[in-house]
Structure formats: C-alpha cells, structure tokens
Structure 1
Amino acid sequence: MEDQVMSEVHIGCPPGVSGPHLSHFFFSIPSGVEQSESSIENDGAISGHQGLDWDDDGDLVLTRRNKLSNKKCGLTIQHMITSSIPSVGLQVWRAELILADFVLHRMFTSSDFEGITTIELGAGTGLVGILLARVAKSVFLTDHGEQILENCAANVCLNSAIFNSQAAVHVRELDWKNSWPPKTDFDYNSQKRFSWTISEFEEAQRASLLVAADVIYSDDLTDALFSMLEAIMSHGPDKVLYMALEKRYNFSLDDLDVVANGYSHFRSYLRDGGDNAELGSLGDWHFPPFFGKCVDLSEIPQYIRQYDRGNDVELWQIKYEKRKP
C-alpha cells in the first residue's frame, strides 16, 4: 500500500473517512461590491447553511459583521482527507487557499479578471478556477489522471450556480510531460470526456491568465512544468502566471542541513522580475526566459478563514520573455 499524506487544511476533518469528503469554504464580499440577488441566493444554497456558529454549550453565537463585509458566500469542495503522493490533487492544500485569496482580492478590487480566458495548471480540486468562473469568460481546469479529473468535474457541478451566466468551464487532461498543444478528440479518433477539441485549444491559446498552486514538489515535475509553461506562454497574447507554493524542507546529506531543494530548483528558472525589470531587453539567451516577482502576502486580505497561512507559503507573479527571431 502506498504511503498516505494529509494536507494541513484537513486537520479536524472526521477521522477514519476513506471516501470523498465535502468541505465548505466561506468568504466575505467587501462592501460596495455588487452581486445579483440570484447569485446571493445560490451562494447560500451551496454553502449548505447560513454560516451560523454555536458555542460549547450549544448556544447560537451572534457575531457583529465588520465594516468590510456585508455578505458571506461560499463554495463546496469534494476532496479526499488523505491520499497517496501521486494523487495529492485530490486534496485541498494551503497554497491553493492563498491563491484563492489573491484571486478574490483582485476580483473585489479591480476588473482585471472580468471576461478573460484563464488556464489553471495542476488544478486538483479546481477550487481556484471555480472562483475565477464568477467573472471569467472561459476557464480551463487542467490536470493529469482520471480520478483527479473526475473529482474536479464533480466540483464544477457542485458549484456551477456561482458561475457568471456567460462562463464556459472545461475540465481537461494536460500531462506536462507531453507536448503542447495537447491531443484533441480528433487525434484520439473518438470522443473522450477530458480530451480537448480543436476550438478549445484555440481558445486556450488566447488565455491571458495562468494560475497554479502547490505544484512544486519534484524536480522532474518542475522541469516538465516550465517546459509546458514555455510552450503555452510563447504563443498568443502576453500571459501572466500567478503561482502559490509552499517551501518543503528536508534533511539533505549533501548539505548536512535542512533545506528546501525543490524550492531552490524552482527559483533557478526565474530571473528578477521586480518593478524595474525590463522585459524585451534580453541579450544573453542562456538565461531563463521567465521573470519572477514575489507578491507581498501582507497586502492580500485573508478572505477564506478556514486555514492558517503559516510562514512558508509564497505567491509568485511570473512573466515570460518571448524570444525574438
């Protein structure tokens, strides 16, 4: 039997549960953000309850709403409480919730994500992409493995009521170790549930936003990810990737110290992408074509309350420098 791992987010979930579990994640909509009445009703229905709390004696706790929040909304995510390492996409991870906070903050404070096409890489449960479907035009939730894709598709169905009326949400297979473009149903000669159509691939090429969370834990997989990113980001309009990741420390015999080698390998792909970095001015092409800038998480409010951010999670903005002919 494969070793099982457990996300910190699931601590406190019912012990001994072997099958899928439903968790409700709530977030508050700041004052001044408009929302249709139907959307408000749907949010209440999806959460399964109205966010009421009880004390240890079973009495209802009435909390006063703060000035930043006038509506509490939520989404329901089906996930496993534990999983094998190859199936970690069946769980919700801390970096995924930090990326969700970032997405919510941009949605509440700007119109940047309205009407866009976006791709989530290593979508897992699909939580972040599902939130983006509140404002985006097209969302591609991509991952690898039938079980993970089936679970992601189930979460799309569970939360479809919170999507904007024009949103098209696609759950699609994307193996980073294969080439881009991905195989289409034409290539397979038969329709597969999670295969791409040619029109979907053409739409994905026009994506302006990529998102990914907790996909850095194996050097081989990181190499495959950046190879896929270069293939995707080098075509079509300029794209930006927002990636949330958690530093994972292990004792290294080579270093005789506790180090985050996976994080160091990830950083080796990035050049400084601060505000003063000049894209389009590369002269030495042996440097990585990716520019990275770490986002200050202290500037991102924690809209989703059901997790502890900790100190080892980072959010990166990554851009790609297209090579000139």
Structure 2
Amino acid sequence: MKDSEIHLMSEIHLGCPPATNGPFVSRFTFSSPLGLGGSSNDHISVDKDGDLLLPRRTSKSFHLMTPGFLFLDSFTVTIQHCITSTLRDVGLQVWKAQLVLSDFVLHKMCTSSQLNSIVCLELGSGTGLLGILLARVAKAVFLTDHGYEILGNCLRNVEMNSSLFNPQAVVNVRELNWMSEWPVDGDCRVPEKYRWSSQDFEQVKSASFIFAADVIYSDDLTVALFSMLKRVMSFGCDKVLYLGLEKRYNFSLDDLNVVANGYACFRSYIKEDELCEQEEKSFVGKRIDVTQIPQYTKGYDRGEDVELWEIKYVA
C-alpha cells in the first residue's frame, strides 16, 4: 500500500464512533479557577496529577479582569475534524501536543497579561483549536497551513467559535507552504480568502509570538519548517516560538533499535542556552517543564512523550 493511502488516527480520537463519510464534531471543554483579581497564581490549586481543583460556581462565563488576566469557570470549543486521515492530511485531526500547548497558552492567559492584544502567527494550524484560544485575548491571529481542505476545515472551526473571541480580535486563515518564499507572493491560484495581503505582512512584522504544535513528524517537513522559521523570525520585530511536539518512536533497521528519528532531526536545529556561543544566528531553545502546567483541557492523557519548547532565533 502506498504511503498516501495509509490512514492514521490521533489517540485523541480513540473511542470516537467509526469514521463516516463526513466530518466528526467534538467539543473540548476548558476549565480553570475563577479568580477575584490581582495575581492569579494565588488562586490556582492542583491535585497530585496536576489537574485543577475548581471552586463551585454557577456562572459559566469568562471575564477579563484588571490588569487583563483571563479567569473562567469553563467554556467549550466546538471542533470539526476527521477521525482518521492520510499523512498528507493530518491537519484534519486534533493531536496531543496541540492540547498540551493549549494548556500552556491558557495558563499564560490566567496568570499574566503577556498575550493580551498581541499579533501572533501559528504554523501548521490544522483544525485551528489553538488559534481559537489565542483569539480570546489577541488582537490579530494568523492561522496558516497548506492544503485547501485543511484550510477550509480550519476556517469553518473559526466561524463556529467566533462568539468566544475577544471582540476586537481579527482571525485570518492563510495558505502557507513552508517550501515557498517569504513573504509569500500573491499567487492568483490561491483562493482570495486564504491569500496574503500587503497589510497582512505589515501585521506579521509586529508579531511577537509564533506557535506550532505537532509539526515534527517528517524530516523533510522539519527541514522546511526551520527554513521558513529563519525567514519569518527575521521579519520585523524579534519573535518567540512556542512549539509543542510528541516524540514518535519506530524501529530503525539502521540502528536495530526503537528510536525517535524525527525528534533527533528537530534537536539538531536547537542549541541550549548555555551552549550557544556563536556569532551567526541560530535557534536557541529551552524546554518548558510540562509538569508545572495545570491541565485545563479535560478528557485526555498527556503521557510522557510530549515536550514544549521556547525558541528564539538569535546571534
């Protein structure tokens, strides 16, 4: 069987009804404490598993409290997705590292105002779940992926969840092939709703954060990803990348062992802070301790193989 005919399933979708001809709809519930103001670190309690201990409240709304911290009881994001897909169309599914990165983003929203009113860019947005969360506090969110079926599904999810957004937020779904030039030329073959404008590029220049989740699974794509990151992270102001990945293991005939080759390719691009002593620009990263991030997203098991990284492109 050809690789293009092999269907994959995210473990997030295990237990879903058998695949049908149409898309499946899941509802992801996010919960956190409802604070009373000030630094919300004082209001967060977790159990021994890292899950939040929630106070009993009757309200289900969210609030932006001074100085802009996000406090909430719970809210639900509705996501249209496929239960299985080919490798080329994995962006039609929800993957574990996307949920862990979502937990990280929500934790930042609840404990600081760092993400308030930002312009941000997501690479490999897939279903758009993370971007939908970012739109609750951001000024402008650019969700990017490659392939019109994935982009169409992402746009549909954005539209279904627009009532959750910060009223001032602008969410854009854009086509971005990591093997293309940057800035992207105005390819007339791309449908206008996914096409970049000169105004888009001006906004991305001011983007302070880039996000990516579950984009490390093919060495060719990893090479293309870091090629694109070099150009995007040198475009306009300094940018910080938050990247979530899951180590995926397979048996290697070359190594005669079970290895995570995709992860090794990723790490070949990253220098640890204390080891970076070069004049030329390079990707400098530090691993975020996932165990210190409460699990805001309910109904999934993080496991042991998900990592989050904070990465900068510096000299």
What is the aligned counterpart of 2:136 among 134, 137, 144?
134
Letter in structure 1 aligned against 2:227? S
Gap change, CA 1:190 and 1:22, over 3 Å in 2? closer
Contact 1:30 1:68 in 2 (8 A): no
The aligned residue for residue 99 of structure 1 is 101
1:31 Cα deviation (Å)? Answer: 2.1
Superposed CA deviations along residues 133-162 of structure 1, whole A, max 9, x for unmatched, are 000000000000000000000000010000
d(CA) in 2 for partners of 1:260 and 1:95? 16
1:231 equivalent in alignment to 2:231: yes
Residue identity matched to 1:241:
L
2:55 pairs with one of 52, 67, 89: 67
Match of 2:312? Answer: 319
Q: Is the 8 A contact 2:290 2:307 kept in 1?
A: yes
3-state SS, counterpart of residue 226 of structure 1: helix
* 3-state SS, counterpart of residue 312 of structure 2: strand
The answer on whether the counterparts of 2:19 and 2:83 sit within 8 Å (CA) in structure 1 is no
Gaps of 5+ in 2: 38-52, 58-71
1:290 aligns with 283
Give the Cα separation in 2 of the matches to 1:277 and 1:264. Answer: 17
Q: Choose which of 283, 292, 299 in structure 2 pairs with 1:299.
A: 292
Q: Is the 8 A contact 1:33 1:108 kept in 2?
A: no
Q: Quick one: which amino acid aligns to residue 135 of structure 1?
A: V
Equivalence for 1:7: 10
The one-letter amino acid of 2:96's match is R
Aligned AA for 1:2?
E
How far apart are residue 190 of structure 1 and its match? 8.7
Percent of aligned pairs sharing the same letter? 56
1:29 Cα deviation from its structure 2 partner: 3.1
State how far apart, in whole Å, the 1-side matches of 2:191 and 2:145 are.
18
Match of 1:166, SS? coil
Q: What CA distance in whole angstroms lies between the structure 1 residues aligned with 2:189 and 2:158?
A: 26
Give the distance between the partners of 1:155 and 1:291, measured in 2 at CA: 33
Pair member with larger Rg: 1
What is the deviation of 1:68?
A: 8.7
Q: TM-score, normalization: structure 1?
A: 0.83
1:32-73 CA-partner distances (Å, limit 9, x unpaired): 167xxxxxxxxxxxxxxxxxxxxxxxxxxxxxx733976221
Task: Map 1:1-325; keep pairs closer than 5 Å.
Answer: 2-32=5-35, 66-67=54-55, 71-184=73-186, 187-188=187-188, 192-273=192-273, 282-283=278-279, 285=280, 289-322=282-315
Q: Report the RMSD for the aligned CA atoms in angstroms.
A: 1.9
The TM-score normalised by the length of structure 2 is 0.86
Query: Is the Cα contact below 8 Å between 1:183 and 1:195 reproduced in 2?
Result: no
- 1:183 to partner: Cα distance: 2.1
**Paired residues of 1:29 and 1:73 also in contact (CA < 8 A):** no
CA distance, structure 1, for counterparts of residue 153 and residue 102 of structure 2: 19
The number of equivalent residue pairs is: 283
With over 3 angstroms needed to count, the CA separation of the structure-2 counterparts of 1:94 and 1:240, relative to structure 1, is: same
One-letter amino acid of the structure 1 residue matched with residue 54 of structure 2 = N
Q: Secondary structure at the match of 1:221?
A: helix
CA contact (8 A) 1:291 1:318 kept: yes
Q: State the partner residue of 1:59.
A: none
> Are the equivalent residues in 2 in contact too, given 1:6–1:82 (CA < 8 A)?
yes
* Residues 92 and 190 of structure 1: CA distance in aligned 2, closer, same or farther (over 3 Å): closer
Q: Deviation digits for residues 245-304 of structure 1, max 9, x if unmatched? A: 00011111111100000100100000003xx577xx633x3xx70001110001100000
SS in structure 2 of the partner of residue 104 of structure 1: helix
Letter in 2 for 1:255: D
